[in-house]
Amino acid sequence: MSSLQIGLAVAGGLVLAGVVAHGAWKSRRNKPLQPQPDSEPAAAGGADGPAPDETARLEPGFDGPLPPLPVATPERRPGLDALIDVIAPVALEGVVSGDAALAAMPPTRRAGAKPFAIEGQNDASGEWEFPVAGQRYRAFQAGVQLANRTGHLNEIEFSEFVIKTQEFADAVNGAPDFPDMIEQVARARELDQFASEHDAHLGFVLRARHAAWSPGYVQQHAARLGFVAGMLPGRMVLPAGEPGLPPLLGLSFDTQAALAEDPEQSAIRSLTLTLDVPQVSRTAQPFVRLRETAIALAASMDGLITDDLGQPIAAESLDVIGADLEKLYDTLDAHDLSAGSPQARRLFS
């Protein structure tokens, strides 16, 4: 073999090696970022190099995990409330056992799309409660919700409420007293109009600046801030400090990526942080939590905080949103529908 042939063979080998190395580098560069052992925190820059400079628009205002924020204790009231329910009293000739009341309950707890409930006045305590076996009740009341996020109570739903209540009353030998349907439907429309004008969902989109994220990478960084897995794939929530209360915040990403057979190869380019305003008490400072969570994730995951249209959100815009939110809280308070209260959680559901 001549020296020319040897030289060409060596050069070809080098080119081939270069192509293979470039392909491997490109594959590694495009692979979604993976979770790291807790003892080795993930670098925000991932395969693209060192973590980027702090964003000029949104600066993290803390170091380490987010501090716990106070959570309001829900006010204890009867399940039915004249503010948001149509209520029909059911008079009795004598006391009725809880067992008999439970046996007479309708099979569903809805009239159309509206929650329906029956409460009994405990003969011993005088308190209104959902009937309990072994207790005795001196009166009952049935109620149907005036409005929720499906709309206002209509005539058909009111009629179904009447039928369900009458059947229950007949079974316990009671006499119901129904309010005027036209007046109640008009009240439902008015409440629904108020709710529609004062409902609010806030959301920020966090977009990957460079390398995409794997589901495990997202879950790891969110878990460090207190998020836990939600009921649906690709959904995480930041729990409230008290059992039974709605979560403070939600986090969601592509469901298909969460369900993929090989999650490590699933590329997530964005996730969404959300706050259901009427569901969470203002004393829990949920907007502060939303803002700081977005900033923390952006810093640790090399992300950019944007709106739904992909436009970066400036810190000044967040200040305006926070001020508007305080006005909304004040309005809800003035109408006895404070955010996070049992009435607000039912109305805005």
Average pLDDT of the residues of the chain: 85
pLDDT at 258: 85
- pLDDT single digits (tens) 102-157: 999 999 999 999 999 999 999 999 999 999 999 999 999 999 999 999 999 999 99
CA distance 349 to 339: 12
- Over the Cα atoms of the chain, what is R_g? 29
Is pLDDT of 45 > 50?
Answer: no
Cα torsion 178, 346, 149, 167: sign:
negative
Q: For the domain bounded by 46-67+200-347, which CATH number is listed?
A: 3.30.1400.10
- pLDDT single digits (tens) 61-103: 334 455 454 444 434 444 899 999 999 999 999 999 999 999 9
More confident residue, 170 or 264: 170
Structure pTM? 0.78
Closest by Cα among 67, 48, 33 to 292: 67
Is 310 within 8 Å of 205 (Cβ atoms)?
Answer: yes
At 110, list the tokens. 């809805």
Count of C-beta atoms within a 10 Å radius of residue 251: 24
Question: Looking at the DSSP assignment, which residues form a beta bridge with residue 306?
Answer: 205, 312
Closest by Cα among 234, 231, 204 to 216: 234
In the chain, what's the furthest Cα-to-Cα distance? 116
CA distance 89 to 175: 8
- pLDDT single digits (tens) 288-311: 999 999 999 999 999 999 998 999
- CATH 3.30.1400.10 in the chain: give the residue spans: 46-67+200-347, 85-196
Dump the DSSP string for 236-302.
EEE--SSTTSPPSEEEE--HHHHH-SSGGG--B-EEEEEEEGGGS-GGG-HHHHHHHHHHHHHHHHT
Q: For the domain bounded by 85-196, which CATH number is listed?
A: 3.30.1400.10
CA distance 279 to 247: 8
- pLDDT single digits (tens) 233-242: 999 999 998 8
The DSSP secondary-structure symbol of 79 reads S
CA distance 205 to 232: 19
Average pLDDT over residues 195-218: 95
Residue type, 70: P
What angle, 0 to 180 degrees and rounded to 10, lies between the N-to-C axes of helices 315-334 and 181-198? 160
